[in-house]
Every structure is written in structure tokens, then in C-alpha cells.
Amino acid sequence: MHDRMQRMGRGAGWLAAAVLAVSIGGCASTNPKDLHKYSGPDRVRSLAETKASDAAETSVVPVKTIHHSAYVSLSDVARAADLHSAWLRDGSYGIGDHDPVWKFRTGDSAAMKSGKTIKMQAPAVKDSNRLYIPISGLQSLFGSEVTLYAHGDSVSFLPRPVPHELGATGLSLPFLDAVPGASSDGRPQIAAAGAGKADTILSDARKFLGVKYDFGTGNYKDTGTFDCSSFTQYLFGKAGIDLPRTAREQAKLGRSVGRDSLQKGDLLFFYVPGRFKTDNTVGHVGIYMGEGKMIHSSPKPDDGVQITDINKAYWQETFLYAKRLLG
């Protein structure tokens, strides 16, 4: 089971500690055996809960000595950073919001973050179904999401200040369909071929209503499940459009469109609220259906592929942007 995340109130003395810089020695490699899912509970905090939390509160992760080197458990790191984590079907260990942005493998000295390789000074080590990484790798892996402080036998996680929050603009604006023959940026509306692809994608998407959500799942043909980005990747792939695996990577494609000029087939990107989350980090993706509806794979409010009315406060406030890949 996960160690319970320790909470500490405001304290000032140790906050002046230097950001981690620890030398790591070599470790033995271990191959995973009998892997099974190991994760914290799915938890999406409301904006009210997030704002009510004490901004100065910290989360503390204990340090474990492995082969004379300092390591931390990835399950503890994920819980401290308000992220989901699990052993994945391919034997790797994933961390993220609604899909695995970070992936680690037992015995590897490199990790993947949003499709990019990040080197660590020592390999990941599995112990009692937990995967541990050297604390020297935390800054390069998670430093853009949280502020880290090392204290000998523990590492503290603090929220990273964000000077400007993208979602603060137009939170009360509704999601609207584009007016035929016009667009907010002066571009022509979706071509007939693009509209046809959108209808095909949405028709296929409806066939999967009720299919269960599974964080970091593999190909649908092998697993029979989806997470948010594997769902969009699968559907767009069937329509001849290749998408990368995670929502963060998918968000880099296409052209931006306003929430008041949406069209069927547009990808909608959201952040997932949390004390360590900022509203400029993509954590979820869905497909716009028209008339203020989205089809997506999510653990909440229902478990699996579902159709959601996005003209509700939660979705209006967590919306980041929409991207158009069709037409």
C-alpha cells in the first residue's frame, strides 16, 4: 500500500535548503516479475477544494537507501504531486493525470516524459512492487511541475508559482458551435472532407460508449480499454490521422480555435485541478461533438467512454484550448 502522504504546515527554516544535488552510485538491475496494477485512488479535486487548500502546505516523500544511494518511491512521488500512478500492461510504470506522461522501467537509467528521453544517474530499482528512482533525477523529471527540496531523509514538494493562469480569461463563457460560413480568425470553415471525417470519427466513438477507462492502457485491440489520449489516438488513427500517445503531445498539433467557434471533431484540452497543478498543463483530452457535448474516456464522473455536457462550471473553468486537425 502507499505510504500515507505526510502533511506539514508552514515552516520557514528548512525551506532555504538547496534544491537537490545528490551523487548516485551504480545499482543492480532487476527485471519485473508478476507485475500488477498498483496505484493510488483516482482523484480529481474540484476547483473549490484546490483553492481552499493551504498554498504553503508541503508534501514530504521519504528517502530510501538502496545500494548506498538515495532513492524515492515513484508511487510516493506521484501521490505527493497529486498525480496518478500505476504499473502498466507493458511492464513499465506510468505517472500522469488521465494518461501516462512519465514512463519508467525497472533497470533502466532513462525515463520518458511526453515522448522525450530523460537520463538518470542510476537505474530504476524495483522493491516490493514499488519502483524507486534516484533523487538526483527528480529535478529534471518533475522540476517544471513542482518545487523540490531535499532534507537528508526526505524530499519536500511545494507548488510552483505561476505568474499567469491561462484559464482565468473567459471562465464563464459557454462553448459554442461555429457560425456556418464564418470563423473568429477569418479562416474558412471546415471543408466537406473534414466534416465527413468528423462524422466518421464521432460515429465510431459512440460505438465505444461504456468501454472502461484504464490509466496507461495499451492498444484497444489487445486491452479492450482506453484512457483519454489512447481513445482519441485510436479514433483519429482509424480516420487516417496519426496522433502521438499522450494528451500533452496531441495538444501540440493542429491550429487553435476559440471555445465560441467549435466544430465537430475538434480536440478539447483541459487541465486537471490539484494543488500542484497549473492551468497551463494539459491533463485531459476529449472530442467535440457539437451543441456543447464532448465524448471522451475518463475515470469520472462515470468510469469509461462517456458523453459530457461541457457547458458546466468544471469544464468551463478547466478548459485550456481547442485544436482543429480536420480541414
Same domain as 203, residue 153? no
Banded model confidence at residue 44, pLDDT cuts 50, 70, 90: very low
- Mean pLDDT score, 175-183: 69
Q: What is the pLDDT of residue 172?
A: 54
- Phi/psi of residue 6, each to 5°? -80, 145
| Span 50-71, pLDDT tens digits | 444 433 345 899 999 999 999 9
Strand partners, 124: 106
Same domain as 201, residue 56? no
Out of 70-79, 152-161, 282-291, pick the least confident: 152-161
Q: Which of 143, 159, 175 is the last residue of a domain?
A: 159
Same domain as 135, residue 172? no
Q: Considering just the CA atoms, what is the radius of gyration of the chain in Å?
A: 21
Same domain as 144, residue 16? yes
> Domain limits at 299?
166-324
Same domain as 180, residue 89? no
Question: What distance in Å separates the CA atoms of residue 228 and residue 283, rounded to the nearest whole number?
Answer: 9
Q: Which of 159, 192, 223 is the last residue of a domain?
A: 159
Same domain as 135, residue 26? yes
* Percent share of the chain, pLDDT over 90: 56
Is residue 1, in this structure, part of any structural domain at all?
no
Same domain as 218, residue 105? no
C-alpha distances (whole Å) from 244 to each of 112, 197, 211, 235, 280 are 13, 19, 21, 12, 19
Q: Which of 141, 159, 177 is the last residue of a domain?
A: 159
**Residue 221 is part of a domain; what is its CATH number?**
3.90.1720.10
From the list 233, 198, 230, 227, the residue with the least C-alpha distance to 297 is: 227
pTM of the model: 0.70
Same domain as 267, residue 210? yes
Same domain as 268, residue 177? yes
Residue 140 CB partners (closer than 8 Å, separation 6+): 118, 119
Is residue 309, in this structure, part of any structural domain at all?
yes
- Report, as residue numbers or ranges, the catalytic residues: 228, 284, 296
Same domain as 221, residue 155? no
Q: What is the pLDDT of residue 250?
A: 96
Question: What distance in Å separates the CA atoms of residue 94 and residue 61, rounded to the nearest whole number?
Answer: 18
Banded model confidence at residue 75, pLDDT cuts 50, 70, 90: very high
Banded model confidence at residue 147, pLDDT cuts 50, 70, 90: confident
Residue 202 CB partners (closer than 8 Å, separation 6+): 264, 265, 287, 289, 295
Same domain as 176, residue 63? no
Question: What distance in Å separates the CA atoms of residue 303 and residue 210, rounded to the nearest whole number?
Answer: 8
User: Domain total for the chain?
Assistant: 2
Same domain as 319, residue 172? yes
Task: Provide the pairing of β-strand 110-113 with 284-290.
Answer: unpaired
- Whether the predicted pLDDT of 89 surpasses 70: yes
Say what the alpha-carbon torsion angle 54, 96, 1, 302 is, to the nearest 10 degrees. 90
Q: Name the residue with higher pLDDT: 32 or 258.
A: 258
Question: What distance in Å separates the CA atoms of residue 152 and residue 129, rounded to the nearest whole number?
Answer: 24
From the list 87, 104, 80, 84, the residue with the least C-alpha distance to 95 is: 84
Q: What is the pLDDT of residue 73?
A: 97
Q: Name the residue with higher pLDDT: 226 or 15.
A: 226
Indicate the angle between helix axes 192-206 and 228-238, nearest 10 degrees. Answer: 130
What sign does the dihedral 254-255-256-259 (CA atoms) show?
Answer: negative
> What is the CB neighbour count within 10 angstroms for residue 46?
13
| Span 107-138, pLDDT tens digits | 999 999 999 999 999 999 999 999 999 999 99
